[in-house]
Amino acid sequence: MTFTKISEGLGRSGSKIDRRSWKLPIAFAFVSLISGVLFIGFAEDAPTGFDLSTGTDLFQLPEVSLPALATGVVVTILTALIAVGSAFMISQDRAVPKWIPIIGAVFALVGFLTWAAADETLRVPELFAGALVLAVPLVFGALGGVISERVGVVNIAIEAQLLAGAFVSAVVGTITASPFAGLFAAAVAGMLVSFLLSVFAIKYLVNQIIVGVVINVLVSGLTGFLYSQWLVASPEKLNNPEGFSEVPIPFLSGIPIIGPVLFKQTLIVYLLYIIVAAVAFAMYRTRWGLRLRAVGEHPKAADTVGINVTRTRFWNVALAGAIAGLGGAFITLSQTGQFGKDVTAGAGFIALAAVIFGRWDPIKATLAALLFGFASNLQNALSVVGSPVPSEFMLMLPYVVTIIAVAGLVGKSRPPAASGTPYIKG
Amino acid sequence: MSEPTPQKSEEAALTEGAENSENNQDTSRWTNAFREITTGNALLSLLAIVLAILIGGVLIALTDSDVQDAAGYFFARPGDLFAAIGSAVGGAYLALFQGSVYDFRRDDFLSAIKPLTQTLVFATPLIAAGLGVAIAFRVGLFNIGGRGQIIVGAAFAGYASFAWDLPIVLHVIVAVIMGIIGGALWGAIAGLLKARTGAHEVIVTIMLNYVAYYLISFLLRTDLLKNPGSNNPKTPPAADTAVLPPIFGDGFKLHWGFVVVIGATVLAWWLINRSSLGFKFRAVGLNPHAARVAGIKVERLYVYVMLIAGGYAGLAASTEVLGTTTSGFTSGVDAGIGFDAITVALLGRSTPWGTFAAGLLFGAFKAGGFTMQASQGIPIDIVLVVQSLIVLFIAAPPLVRAVFRLPQPGARAKKVVG
């Protein structure tokens, strides 16, 4: 311990005297500046419509219309106020309440949407429903990542688990003509990838990042090979799975905005709700979660009290793979309808980003994945209404946000202490 | 840790120093990785390659339609099955050899040896980018950002090659250097963030890959990189003055980029093994805490090494857009080289000449893989499978020893936690 302290001291001497963080006011000053330039300087003086209702709602909400220029002015002033206010509070050594940045972010988002879609109408329920659909594989992947890393095994192989799940669910779903069989097989496939990760990382003590990277290549090559050899030759026999259809939940799906977004989805999405809730609860409230976190934080201590570190890691990494595999099934069974080469298109890496941005917490990682899904769907929605922002920059957003997050600019993110370290008894 | 040689015990001492501090997962993780990479030997590498090729053969046999047909009447005529397996697997690997080394169906030596030059063409960027990963590895950094660095390097080199008007010789030199600068700058972002904020380079480089991809996708839609005469997101071709000329005349695609890469390998060898900077690199790689106590500015070295690593990836990009494909490039310019570079460096055990050899091998796989796909109808993805299996097996020597019934060495140094 002292060794580390000294070396840290040598590294950055004297930089930790002032513990106040000025990140929040600086960030909001920046947001305010951008909104001033974009939303006022480049505003189109036209109203932006926000259509809040769908046809099946229990009661209809009116369409909201915001004048683009005036909204820009309001947002700029509000974010500037937040910047000044939080700067004042920090200078007084008072904690800034958490709801302030959240309110500010919502304002900035509304300002952005109003500006980007000026003179058009945004269909809000579709925007969020589409975001959820894009986020589902990310959430599955992120949950897999969280479980795996919390138990002490770095999971770079989320992409491989998603891809394996996507491939197997397409094949099994077609052969058995049952989406449930496809879903189950996807979980098994994700688990098999995890076994591979576990065998090399836990048994043979190979560096976990290396194994993860290599497994990604391996599964990409393997599924690509089998796809070209088998699936391309007879697509109707092997790559034509029956997807899950939408199952609206009675009454709940009629609630305006929330209903069409959350309760008019396929069974996999409802399964996702259950899994997120179960993992979030079990991680902190059950013996399983306690053991898992103990093994990930301090395997030696866990071993001392009689927890079998190797076995705990092995089965939890398998569980993580199974969950990530379900995300892969969602891609083929609900999103694309069939398997294609590298159909996951880097979703596993965005899920990894969500794990880190969500600071290794199931709920926060889920929210991060939802945010990333929202960003990519926003790009889709804005390209339809004709947005002034190039779509590439919207697509870049999750990655830039993650870099900012790991660089500690939005708060310190600390991985589980023993994540990435193999454990050898004795 | 019972090796009697003084160098080994020095390493062990450094390692133990790291283990005594609590906040050391990072260090021990890397020392552990290095131990695995360095304690193997050539025989194990060879066996790993053999094993991977065998598994690739099994996959080819399993998915071959003739084999499947023959398996249908196995009990009637079992010989047919083995004949089918033999022709499928043998044909595949024969095509791989003919496509990568020597095509003995040709009449004259010059056209028969052409596949070998093709292998060198594919190996050129793999070696350069692999060196980038290997050098970062020696400092304990895992540079997964080859893809992003290649993309940015290609953008820089490409821009210099078609937008600038320079005299002959000078133009190509400037363009190559521009590529190196582009890659180096992109790599340095990860190094800077690591040094200033402690952001893990694995995450940052993965994310920067995507940022670079979308950035160049955007630039390819603007006049900065797009060919003005076309609507495709593709750059104009490189000017004739900026092209790396072919070594053996126009009949062969092998260009001077390969010679440059040989020089770059020598430079990397000198840098790591002979220069004082390389000594510091290795010291930090073995134990950053000890290196810091010894007065090495570890943070600064992270920036330097990522500059150099990115520069090597940028060199790979230069050889691609100025030598191999000079007719302009799209956002897919990286073509998997960035990720292949990781496996190349791992297979080369992070030494410059090991990486060189591994790059040649993977170049051969690539060149032969295309021939195999064209003549035997076997998807080139099998090459990815074989390559990744090679690296997995090399990283796990006990597994290879178990498969080939080799004796396991008695005491493996693997005390990590504690």
The model's pLDDT over A125-156, given as tens digits with 9 standing for 90+, comes to 888 988 999 999 999 999 999 999 999 998 98
Instruction: Establish if B198 touches chain A: CB-CB under 8 angstroms.
Output: yes
pLDDT at B286 over 70: yes
Q: What is the distance between the alpha carbons of residues A178 and A185, in angstroms, rounded to a whole number?
A: 11
Q: Where are the alpha helices (DSSP H) in A117-231?
A: 124-150, 158-176, 179-198, 208-226
Q: How far is CA B381 from CA A298, B111, B346, in A?
A: 40, 27, 20
Residue in A225, A407, A422 closest to B385 by CB: A225
Highest mean pLDDT among A62-71, A375-384, B295-304: B295-304
Instruction: Establish if B409 touches chain A: CB-CB under 8 angstroms.
Output: no
Instruction: Give me the total of CB pairs closer than 8 Å, taking one residue from chain A and one from chain B.
Output: 188
Instruction: Give the pLDDT score at B9.
Output: 41
Q: Which of A359-373, A390-404, B171-185 has the lowest mean pLDDT?
A: A390-404
pLDDT at B23 over 70: no
Q: What is the distance between the alpha carbons of residues B73 and B81, in angstroms, rounded to a whole number?
A: 8
**Does the distance separating the beta carbons of A200 and B392 come in below 8 Å?**
yes
Mean pLDDT value across chain B:
84
Residue whose structure tokens are 């002032």? A18
Can you tell me the mean pLDDT for A405-423? 72
pLDDT in tens, B32-71: 555 555 445 677 888 888 999 999 999 998 888 888 888 8
Give the DSSP H or E segment for A330: helix A309-330
* CB of B255 closer than 8 Å to CB of B244: yes
Instruction: Give the pLDDT score at A272.
Output: 95
CA distance A339 to chain B (A): 16
CA distance B187 to chain A (A): 14
Q: What is the distance between the alpha carbons of residues B391 and B408, in angstroms, rounded to a whole number?
A: 19
Residue in A217, A218, A402 closest to B207 by CB: A402
- Name the nearest CA neighbour of A417 among A67, A226, A154, A39: A154
User: Rg of chain B's alpha carbons, rounded to an integer?
Assistant: 23
pLDDT at A202 over 50: yes
CA distance B321 to chain A (A): 23
Q: How confident is the model at residue B409 (pLDDT cuts 50, 70, 90)?
A: low
Instruction: Establish if A392 touches chain B: CB-CB under 8 angstroms.
Output: yes
* CB of A144 closer than 8 Å to CB of A323: yes
pLDDT in tens, A247-270: 888 888 888 888 888 888 889 999
Instruction: Establish if B418 touches chain A: CB-CB under 8 angstroms.
Output: yes
**Does the distance separating the beta carbons of A218 and B384 come in below 8 Å?**
yes
Q: Which two tokens stand for residue A10?
A: 């040598």
**Does the distance separating the beta carbons of A206 and B210 come in below 8 Å?**
no
Instruction: Give the pLDDT score at A277.
Output: 96
Find residues 127-146 of chain B whose CB sits inside 8 Å of chain A. Answer: 142, 144
Q: What is the distance between the alpha carbons of residues A179 and A307, in angstroms, rounded to a whole number?
A: 38
Instruction: Establish if A353 touches chain B: CB-CB under 8 angstroms.
Output: yes
* CB of A396 closer than 8 Å to CB of B210: yes
CA distance B256 to chain A (A): 30
pLDDT at A10 over 50: no
The C-alpha torsion from A134 through A137 and A138 to A141, rounded to 10°, is: 180
Query: Which residues of B fall within a CB distance of 8 Å from A229?
Result: 63, 378-379
User: For residue B57, what are the contacts with CB-CB under 8 A and spacing of at least 6?
Assistant: B89, B92, B93
Instruction: Establish if B270 touches chain A: CB-CB under 8 angstroms.
Output: no
Instruction: Give the pLDDT score at B35.
Output: 52
Instruction: Give the pLDDT score at A15.
Output: 44
Residue A413's closest chain B neighbor by CA? B199
Give the DSSP H or E segment for A248: strand A247-248
pLDDT at A110 over 70: yes
Contacts for B175-179: CB closer than 8 Å, 24+ residues apart: B175/B238, B175/B242, B175/B318, B175/B322, B176/B244, B176/B260, B176/B315, B176/B318, B176/B319, B176/B322, B178/B318, B179/B153, B179/B154, B179/B314, B179/B315, B179/B317, B179/B318, B179/B321, B179/B322
Q: Whole-prediction pTM value?
A: 0.85
* CB of B345 closer than 8 Å to CB of B134: yes
The C-alpha torsion from A51 through A55 and A59 to A64, rounded to 10°, is: 10
- Name the nearest CA neighbour of B417 among A155, A426, A196: A426
Instruction: Give burial (CB, 10 Å; 0-12/13-18/19+) of A335.
Output: middle
Angle at A217 between CA A149 and CA B265, to 5 degrees: 105
Fill in the DSSP letter of residue B95: H
Q: Which two tokens stand for residue A135?
A: 């986020």
Instruction: Establish if A209 touches chain B: CB-CB under 8 angstroms.
Output: yes
Higher per-residue pLDDT: B36 or A278 = A278
Instruction: Establish if B1 touches chain A: CB-CB under 8 angstroms.
Output: no
Instruction: Give the pLDDT score at A364.
Output: 92
CA distance A12 to chain B (A): 9
Residue in A205, A225, A395 closest to B414 by CB: A205
Q: Which two tokens stand for residue B355?
A: 């990486």
**Does the distance separating the beta carbons of B381 and A222 come in below 8 Å?**
yes
**Does the distance separating the beta carbons of B415 and A224 come in below 8 Å?**
no
Instruction: Establish if A271 touches chain B: CB-CB under 8 angstroms.
Output: no
CA distance A3 to chain B (A): 6
